[in-house]
A and B are shown apart, each in its own frame.
Chain A
Amino acid sequence: MAVGLPENIFITRLDAAANWARSNSLWPMPFATACCGIELMATAASRHDLARFGAEVMRFSPRQCDLLIVAGRVVMKMLPVLQRIWLQMPEPKWCISMGACACSGGVFDTYAVVQGVDRFIPVDMYVPGCPPRPEQLLAAVIDMQEKVRRTGTIMGREFVSRDTSTGPSPFDLQEQYRIEDSRLVQLGGFSAAATSTAEGDA
């Protein structure tokens, strides 16, 4: 005699069940520092309604969140704050970098603006745009849900292997050259005028 399952009972993996629950109830932590923050608010508001995807509960306490949305440019004075918020968020947690500035510094290539938060904190999803439309952020949240479903484990094993930074190096080669140059200028052994002529000749 075959033993079947009774009504209303199904079998699944614990990981899959946990991922299903987590992905449909993301709790975003809005780190809104610029105009992207306005689009983030519009995404949560009635017209676009982030609640349709179960991610409407914006908490301003990192201890209650599992999705960091970095919306806007991050300056060097704000980066330690961002890193601290990321560390304060309980596992499992994910990060969306929203807009050109958070992803790469955008047009603000200046002494104070961090050229992409992925240099200093792990980022799962990038949203392009300046600022992105709410639809783009919704698409990122939907993709984020898919990623959670696909890769998530109940104990967070998938995070342990990510022990190297996936972002660009904080100091790329160009930046290294520039630092070296400016140090020489400070010491007086390097003339910016002389270099520009040399470049002109070449």
Chain B
Amino acid sequence: MVSLAELQAQFGSGIAERTFRDNRFIDVPAEQLLNVLSALKTQFSFNMLIDITAVDWLDYEGATDRFSVVYLLLNVDSGERITVRAAVNLPDPALPSVCSLWMGADWMEREVYDMFGISFTDHPDLRRILMPEEFSAFPLRKDYPLKGRGERHNFPVITRSEG
């Protein structure tokens, strides 16, 4: 079991913990994220990265930061799970890439970039993964309208005679 005290001893008191129904969440300052994740992988054997995702807190009551990037980790040997969260803000939301720790982070970070516009420095190939290349918005941001800004209908119309 990774204990909060151990992490705080290593990385200072900026690290906070929260539990909800046996799930443990650790909030980490963005500048320490890579170090903490690296320690969780090497010292505490969280050798599997389950997923990376993000939350947009726009207009959420009591929220102080715009985005949280969420890392779900699993220790395959003990079955222990932990969730690490780091906050980022506009205008330039960016975090260090964790592709160097878990190779599987590649496409996950691309998805977060595609949907939320959070960029990951030192990512080997940070392109859109789901939306078309020429798409310019980040559709899972809360200020993006559900029905889009007309991108879905921005195509030429083919009539029968020219077909």
**Contact of B162 with A by CB under 8 A:** yes
**Contact of A107 with B by CB under 8 A:** no
- Contact yes or no, B153 A119, CB < 8 A: yes
- Contact yes or no, B132 A77, CB < 8 A: yes
| B interface residues, tally (CB under 8 Å) | 25
**Contact of A122 with B by CB under 8 A:** yes
Q: Write the nearest CB–CB distance from B98 to chain A, whole angstroms.
A: 27
Residues on B with C-beta less than 8 A from A122 are 158-160, 163
**Contact of A161 with B by CB under 8 A:** yes
Residue A165 contacts which of B132, B150, B159 (CB distance < 8 angstroms)? Answer: B159
Query: What class of interface size applies to chain A in its complex with B?
Result: 35 or more
- The segment from B37-45, B83-91, B138-146 that touches chain A is B138-146
- Contact yes or no, A112 B131, CB < 8 A: yes
**Contact of A125 with B by CB under 8 A:** no
**Contact of B21 with A by CB under 8 A:** no
Residues on A with C-beta less than 8 A from B139 are 111-112
Residues on B with C-beta less than 8 A from A175 are 147, 150, 153
**Contact of A120 with B by CB under 8 A:** yes
Q: In the complex the two chains form, what is the Cα distance from A75 to B139 in whole Å?
A: 14
Q: Write the nearest CB–CB distance from B136 to chain A, whole angstroms.
A: 11
Q: In the complex the two chains form, what is the Cα distance from A113 to B151 in whole Å?
A: 10
Residue ID in chain B nearest A179 by CB atoms: B150
**Contact of A114 with B by CB under 8 A:** yes
- Contact yes or no, B163 A170, CB < 8 A: no
- Contact yes or no, B159 A171, CB < 8 A: no
- Contact yes or no, B149 A76, CB < 8 A: no
17 contacts between A and B (CB under 8 A): A80-B155, A83-B155, A86-B163, A109-B146, A110-B147, A111-B146, A111-B148, A114-B153, A120-B157, A122-B160, A164-B159, A165-B157, A170-B157, A171-B153, A178-B150, A181-B145, A183-B149
Residues of A within 8 A of B (CB): 75-77, 79-80, 83, 86-87, 93, 109-115, 119-122, 159-167, 170-171, 175, 178-179, 181-183, 185
Q: In the complex, given contacts A112-B139, A115-B152, what are 9 additional A-B residue pairs having Cβ atoms less than 8 angstroms apart? A: A77-B132, A86-B163, A111-B146, A121-B158, A162-B161, A163-B159, A163-B162, A164-B159, A167-B157
